[in-house]
C-alpha cells in the first residue's frame, strides 16, 4: 500500500453526500477496525446521529446552546498588524482569524463535546468517557458533562498531564475523574487506546466522546459534522466582510478536527485552497515529529485506516511535538483522503517555528494562540510570499494559549 | 461419549487441520485446551520451549500472539507481555521463523493472533503465504472488520489457513449468524464485554451464547477472554463449548516466573487446565 501523488480531484470525489460511504469509508480510508464487542454500539451511534440531525428539536437545542452557552458565532477577525507584517511593496495577502479561541473553554473542541453529550442523553447513556492530549477536549467534555449532570472519566497520558497541569486541574474542578495512562508513550495515542478499552468494557452504559475526526466510523463523520459550524459561519462572515469566498483556508492538523470543521463547508468550492499544517517536532528528517500526512504510510490505528507513522513491521511509532494536541502518530481518515485526491495540501512546521509564530501573533495581535494553533500561523512565513496581493486567507485560530504558558516559559523564559 | 459426525457436516464445514483436531478431541469425550502465548515474551527462544512444553502438557492447540504496539482488545497482562516481547526485539518475521523451526517437533495446530495493522502492513496474501510456510493453520484478527474478514478468509483458505472470527456478548443475532457462517476452524466466543484478562466470575449469559451459536452453525465454539483457571474451564465445558482458550492467566504466570522457571511454570499450569478438560 503506497499513497499516490495528489491529482486533480473529480467532482464525484468531493460530493459531501458520498463521504463517507455506507461502510464508513473515505475512498480506501476510514472503516471500523475495532473489537467485535463495539460494533453494535457504533451502529447504534450512527443511527442515533442520523435521527438527531433529522429532529428539529435536537438541532434547535444544539443551536441554542452553541449560541448561549458556547458563545457562537465566533468572530471573523481581520488581523491587520499580522497582514501588515507580511505585506510586500506590491501588496500581500489579507489575513483573517476565525476566533474559535473565544469559545467557552477556549477552543473549538466544545462544538463536538456539546453535540455528542446531547446525543448521549438521547441514547440514555449516563456515563461519558473521553481521551485528551492537550486537555482541551477533556476540559470541553468535563464542561458539558457538568452542564448535563453526566458522570465523566477522561483518559490522559501521564506525560501530557505533566505538560498540561492547568487543564488537569480544570477538569477536576468540573467534577471529572482524570485517569492517568502510563502505557506506551503516555501521550494521546495511549490515552485513546485506554478510552477504547474502557468503552469495550462498559459499552452498554457508556458513551465515548471521541475528540477528533479520527477513530472508527461514524466518529470521523460525527465529529466533522459537529465542527462544520466553523466553516458555515466563515462562509457567511467572508461574504459580509469582503463579498466573496476566501481564497485560502489554513489550520493545524493533529487528528484534524479544527481543520475539518473549517474545510468541510468549502470542499466542493474548488477555488478555495485548503492547507493543513502538521507538527514537524524537531524536524521531519530527525525522526522526532508528528507529521503523519507528510511522512506516514497507510495503516490502521484506533479503528480507522489512514496515514500512520509506523515502522517496517507495522508497529505504531512514537510521535513528537511540543504541542500535546498534535502529538499523535495518526490522522483523521478524511484528511488522508483529501491528500490522496489532491483536494487539500498538507505542510509541516517545527516546534521552533511554532514557538516563533506564537510570539509573533502575541506581540502583533494581542492574541496568545495555543501551541497547536501556532503551527498554522507559522506556515504564513512560507505561504505569504507566494500569495498574490489581495489574497484572502482565513486561519482557524482554534484555541487560546493560556494552557501552554508553562511550556512556552520553559522554552522562551530566558529570552523574554 | 462419542458423538461422531457432529463436526462432519462437510457442506458448511470443510475438514481442516483445526476442525479435525476438534473432532479428535470430541471423540475422546472432552473439550479442547487452547492456551495463548505471546511470542517473544520474554524472548523467542523461550517461547519455542514453552510451545513444546505446552504440547507435552496436554494442550490441543496453541494460540500464538504476534506482539503489537497498540493492542486495543487486550487488558494489562497481555499489553505488558506485548511490550516485553517488543522490547526484546521480536518482529513478525522473527515469530514465523521461530515457528518454522519447530515444524518437526510441534504437531498440534498453531493459530496466529495478530492485529490488523501488522497484517495489512505486510499485505494479506503475503502474510498468509508466510504464516502457512511457517506451519500456522489458523488466524485470529480481533480488530478486522467483517467485510475485510470476508475478503481475507478465502485468501487464507487457499493457503490452508482457517480465519477464525469472533462473536461478542453484544453481537446481535443476525450478525452472529453471518459471523458463524463465515468463521472457519471454529467460532471464537468472547465471553466478556471487555478486554482480555482474568475474571473471577463468568457471566451465565455465555452459556446461552454457546447454545445460540451451536444452533446457527456446525462450527465448533471455543470460549476465550476471562478464563482464569481450571474451575472456569469446567464451566465452559458444562455450557457445551468445544474449546477453552486461556490467555492472560498463563501469560501472567510466564511474566511472573523467574527466568529459569518460566517453562516449568507454564507446563505446570497447562497440566492443571488439562485435568479440567478431560
Q: Which of A40, A196, A310 sits opposite B117 (nearest CB)?
A: A310
Q: What whole-number distance in Å separates Cα of residue B41 and Cα of residue B36?
A: 12
Which pLDDT band, with edges at 50, 70 and 90, does A17 fall under? low
More confident residue, A287 or A10: A287
**What strand order describes the sheet that includes B243-246?**
B162-164, B138-140, B110-113, B62-65, B32-38, B243-246, B221-224, B187-190, B166-167
* Residue to test with chain A: of B170, B174, B177, most A Cβ within 10 A: B170
A201 interaction partners in chain B (CB closer than 8 Å):
193-195
CA distances from B3 to A189, A262, B27, B219, B277 (A): 49, 64, 7, 14, 16
Instruction: Note whether B60 and B34 are within 8 A (CB).
Output: yes
Asked if B162 is an active-site residue, the reply is no
pLDDT of residue B7: 54
Flag whether pLDDT at A11 surpasses 80.
Answer: no
Encode pLDDT of A210-265 as tens digits: 999 999 999 999 999 999 999 999 999 999 999 999 999 999 999 999 999 999 99
The reported pLDDT for the residue numbered A1 is: 34
Mean pLDDT of A40-67: 97
Domains of chain B and any CATH numbers? 30-277 (3.20.20.70)
Please identify which of the residues B41, B43, B60, B63 carries the catalytic annotation: B63
Q: Is a pLDDT exceeding 60 seen at residue A99?
A: yes
Closest B-chain CA to A192: B72
Plot region of B40 (φ>0 → left; ψ -120 to 50 → alpha; else → beta): left
| Residue B211 predicted with pLDDT over 50 | yes
Instruction: Mark yes or no for CB contact B171/A39 under 8 Å.
Output: yes
Q: What is the mean pLDDT of residues B26-46?
A: 97
The grid cell for B276 is: 479440567
Q: Do B70 and A189 touch (CB under 8 A)?
A: yes
Note the pTM of the prediction, 2 decimals: 0.94
Amino acid at each position: 500500500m503506497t499513497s499516490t501523488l495528489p491529482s486533480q480531484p473529480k467532482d464525484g470525489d468531493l460530493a459531501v453526500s458520498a463521504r463517507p460511504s455506507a461502510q464508513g469509508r473515505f475512498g480506501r480510508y476510514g472503516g471500523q477496525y475495532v473489537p467485535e464487542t463495539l460494533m453494535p454500539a457504533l451502529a447504534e451511534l450512527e443511527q442515533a446521529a442520523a435521527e438527531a440531525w433529522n429532529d428539529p428539536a435536537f438541532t434547535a437545542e444544539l443551536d441554542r446552546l452553541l449560541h448561549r452557552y458556547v458563545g457562537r458565532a465566533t468572530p471573523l477577525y481581520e488581523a491587520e498588524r499580522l497582514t501588515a507584517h507580511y505585506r510586500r511593496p506590491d501588496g500581500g495577502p489579507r489575513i483573517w482569524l476565525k476566533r474559535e479561541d473565544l469559545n467557552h473553554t477556549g477552543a473549538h473542541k466544545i462544538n463536538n463535546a456539546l453535540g455528542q453529550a446531547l446525543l448521549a442523553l438521547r441514547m440514555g447513556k449516563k456515563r461519558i468517557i473521553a481521551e485528551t492530549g492537550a486537555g482541551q477536549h477533556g476540559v470541553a467534555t468535563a464542561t458539558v458533562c457538568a452542564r448535563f449532570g453526566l458522570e465523566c472519566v477522561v483518559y490522559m497520558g501521564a506525560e501530557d498531564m505533566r505538560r498540561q497541569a492547568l487543564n488537569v486541574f480544570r477538569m477536576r474542578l468540573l467534577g471529572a475523574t482524570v485517569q492517568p495512562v502510563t502505557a506506551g508513550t503516555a501521550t494521546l495515542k495511549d490515552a485513546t487506546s485506554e478510552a477504547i478499552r474502557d468503552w469495550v468494557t462498559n459499552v452498554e452504559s457508556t458513551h465515548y466522546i471521541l475528540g477528533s475526526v479520527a477513530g472508527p466510523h461514524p466518529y470521523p463523520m460525527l465529529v466533522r459534522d459537529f465542527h462544520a459550524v466553523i466553516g458555515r459561519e466563515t462562509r457567511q462572515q467572508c461574504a459580509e466582510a469582503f463579498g466573496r469566498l476566501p481564497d485560502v483556508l489554513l489550520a493545524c492538523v493533529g487528528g484534524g478536527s479544527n481543520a475539518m470543521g473549517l474545510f468541510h463547508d468549502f470542499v466542493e468550492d474548488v477555488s478555495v485552497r485548503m492547507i493543513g499544517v502538521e507538527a514537524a517536532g524537531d524536524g521531519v528528517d530527525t525522526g522526532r515529529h508528528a507529521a503523519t500526512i507528510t511522512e506516514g504510510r497507510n495503516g490502521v490505528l484506533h479503528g480507522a485506516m489512514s496515514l500512520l507513522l509506523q515502522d517496517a513491521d507495522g508497529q505504531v511509532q512514537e510521535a513528537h511535538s511540543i504541542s500535546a494536541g498534535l502529538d499523535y502518530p495518526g490522522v483523521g481518515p478524511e484528511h488522508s483522503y483529501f491528500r490522496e485526491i489532491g483536494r487539500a495540501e498538507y505542510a509541516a512546521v517545527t516546534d521552533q517555528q511554532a514557538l516563533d509564530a506564537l510570539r509573533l501573533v502575541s506581540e502583533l495581535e494581542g492574541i496568545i494562540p495555543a501551541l497547536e494553533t501556532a503551527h498554522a500561523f507559522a506556515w504564513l512565513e512560507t505561504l505569504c510570499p507566494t500569495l498574490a496581493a489581495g489574497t484572502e486567507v482565513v486561519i482557524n485560530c482554534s484555541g487560546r494559549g493560556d494552557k501552554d504558558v508553562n511550556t512556552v516559559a520553559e522554552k522562551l523564559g530566558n529570552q523574554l | 461419549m462419542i458423538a461422531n459426525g457432529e463436526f462432519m457436516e462437510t457442506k458448511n464445514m470443510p475438514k481442516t487441520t483445526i476442525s479435525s483436531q476438534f473432532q479428535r478431541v470430541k471423540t475422546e469425550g472432552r473439550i479442547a485446551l487452547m492456551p495463548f502465548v505471546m511470542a517473544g515474551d520474554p524472548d523467542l527462544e523461550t517461547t519455542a520451549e514453552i510451545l513444546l512444553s505446552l504440547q507435552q502438557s496436554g494442550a490441543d492447540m496453541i494460540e500464538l500472539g504476534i506482539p503489537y504496539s497498540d493492542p486495543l482488545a487486550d487488558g494489562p497482562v497481555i499489553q505488558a507481555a506485548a511490550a516485553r516481547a517488543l522490547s526484546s526485539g521480536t518482529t513478525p518475521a522473527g515469530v514465523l521463523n521461530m515457528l518454522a523451526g519447530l515444524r518437526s517437533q510441534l504437531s498440534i495446530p498453531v493459530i496466529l493472533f495478530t492485529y490488523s495493522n501488522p497484517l495489512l502492513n505486510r499485505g494479506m496474501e503475503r502474510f498468509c503465504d508466510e504464516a502457512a510456510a511457517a506451519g500456522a493453520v489458523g488466524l485470529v484478527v480481533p480488530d478486522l472488520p467483517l467485510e475485510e474478514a470476508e475478503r481475507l478468509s478465502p485468501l487464507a483458505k487457499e493457503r490452508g489457513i482457517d480465519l477464525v472470527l469472533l462473536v461478542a456478548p453484544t453481537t446481535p443475532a443476525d450478525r452472529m449468524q453471518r459471523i458463524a457462517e463465515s468463521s472457519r476452524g471454529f467460532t471464537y466466543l468472547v465471553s466478556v464485554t471487555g478486554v482480555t484478562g482474568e475474571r473471577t466470575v463468568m457471566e451465565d449469559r455465555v452459556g446461552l451464547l454457546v447454545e445460540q451459536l451451536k444452533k446457527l452453525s456446525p462450527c465448533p465454539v471455543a470460549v476465550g477472554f476471562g478464563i482464569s483457571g481450571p474451575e472456569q474451564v469446567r464451566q465452559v465445558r458444562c455450557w457445551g463449548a468445544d474449546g477453552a482458550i486461556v490467555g492472560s492467566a498463563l501469560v501472567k504466570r510466564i511474566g511472573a516466573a523467574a527466568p529459569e522457571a518460566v517453562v516449568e511454570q507454564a507446563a505446570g499450569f497447562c497440566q492443571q487446565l488439562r485435568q479440567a478438560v478431560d
